[in-house]
Amino acid sequence: MNTEWVHIAGVDIEVVQKPIKNLHIGVYPPDGRVRVAAPPSMSADAVRIAVLTRLPWIERKRLGFLQQARETERQYVSGETHWFFGRPLRLHVDEINHGRHRVYPDGATTLRMRVAETTDWTARNRLVHNWYRRELRDRSQDSVAKWARTLEVPEPRCGIKRMRTKWGSCNPSTGRIWLNLSLAKKPLNALDYVVLHEVAHFVSPRHDEAFINVLDRFMPNWRQVRRDLNSSLLDSWTEQARSSIIA
């Protein structure tokens, strides 16, 4: 499978040559990434013409993603709402003079942050992101183990990082999958779907009939879960240039 990036009509497009019969154009959240899957026999000129023909549709889809509501930038002060696996939690900041800084849920509706009054935005931001990372890692482990066992494939290692254009990714040759840190804000069924999607690539590395059959068999409603996930509020993590990257 060969991949290259081309620039057509002001749009950067990922072109992937793969053993398929017909060309496919996709526009993906959160920022309207355009990906073209084309048969190896199709020339670059033919791909360009196909993209130009579908350009109005591509622009509509990209504009729709860009206009979706995003969370406002968090200030980490009392009263803010922070999403936690699909549930809104109201933040309550406890200012302390000594002791360990920490973030933790307090009941079903409250998120508590214990920090010194002088703790700045960067430190509070890092504290919350590290908490999300730990929670996502804990909850994803059981899902990875479950689907690996169900699909009878070796259990992959699972990493967590911020991603701009994907909810997850995998590399069957190295036995590793990656999950988008933003999944810590999404409902647990969305996390379970993304894990199944990535583990299913250990059955088939392509989005072919064998891959789709796995999803249809073990999660018949996966298309609806995917639609709900892709239409949910986009968060501001991908927009904040000043945030520290959590690799």
Whether 131 and 233 map to the same domain: the answer is yes
DSSP 146-177: HHHHHHT-PPPEEEEE--SS-SEEEETTTTEE
**Can you give the pLDDT at residue 237?**
41
Whether 55 and 127 map to the same domain: the answer is no
What is the per-residue pLDDT across 1-33, written as a single tens digit (0 to 9) for each?
678 888 888 888 989 998 898 999 998 876 688
Q: What is the pTM of this model?
A: 0.70
In a domain, 92, yes or no: no
State which H helix or E strand residue 111 sits in.
strand 110-115
Whether 131 and 50 map to the same domain: the answer is no
**Can you give the pLDDT at residue 78?**
94
**Can you give the pLDDT at residue 136?**
97
> Domain of 163?
122-239
Looking at 67, 82, 108, which one is the last position of a domain?
A: 67
182 pLDDT band (50/70/90 cuts)? very high
In a domain, 51, yes or no: yes
What is the per-residue pLDDT across 118-145, written as a single tens digit (0 to 9) for each?
999 999 999 999 999 999 999 999 999 9
**Can you give the pLDDT at residue 246?**
25
Cβ–Cβ contacts within 10 Å for residue 28, how many? Answer: 17
In a domain, 217, yes or no: yes
Looking at 43, 67, 91, which one is the last position of a domain?
A: 67
**Can you give the pLDDT at residue 210?**
93
State which H helix or E strand residue 179 sits in.
strand 176-180
Q: Which amino acid is at 201?
A: H
Is 70 exceeded by the pLDDT of residue 72? Answer: no
Is 80 exceeded by the pLDDT of residue 239? Answer: no
- The tally of domains found in the chain comes to 2
Whether 144 and 220 map to the same domain: the answer is yes
Whether 135 and 216 map to the same domain: the answer is yes
**Can you give the pLDDT at residue 238?**
39
Is 50 exceeded by the pLDDT of residue 242? Answer: no
Is 60 exceeded by the pLDDT of residue 98? Answer: yes
In a domain, 235, yes or no: yes
User: When comparing pLDDT for 247 and 18, which is higher?
Assistant: 18
Whether 62 and 149 map to the same domain: the answer is no
In a domain, 156, yes or no: yes
Is 80 exceeded by the pLDDT of residue 162? Answer: yes
In a domain, 73, yes or no: no
**Can you give the pLDDT at residue 243?**
28
In a domain, 98, yes or no: no
**Can you give the pLDDT at residue 5?**
86
Whether 56 and 135 map to the same domain: the answer is no
User: When comparing pLDDT for 128 and 237, which is higher?
Assistant: 128
For residue 143, the domain's CATH number is: 3.30.2010.10
Looking at 67, 82, 97, which one is the last position of a domain?
A: 67
Whether 141 and 222 map to the same domain: the answer is yes
Average pLDDT of the chain to the nearest whole number: 87
Gap between the Cα atoms of 123 and 243, Å rounded: 10
> Could you tell me the two tokens for 158?
């699972």
Query: Once rounded to an integer, what is the mean pLDDT over residues 199-227?
Result: 93
In a domain, 44, yes or no: yes
Whether 148 and 221 map to the same domain: the answer is yes
**Can you give the pLDDT at residue 84?**
96
Whether 127 and 53 map to the same domain: the answer is no
**Can you give the pLDDT at residue 228?**
84
Which of the residue ranges 160-164, 169-173, 179-183 has the most confident prediction, judged by mean pLDDT? 179-183
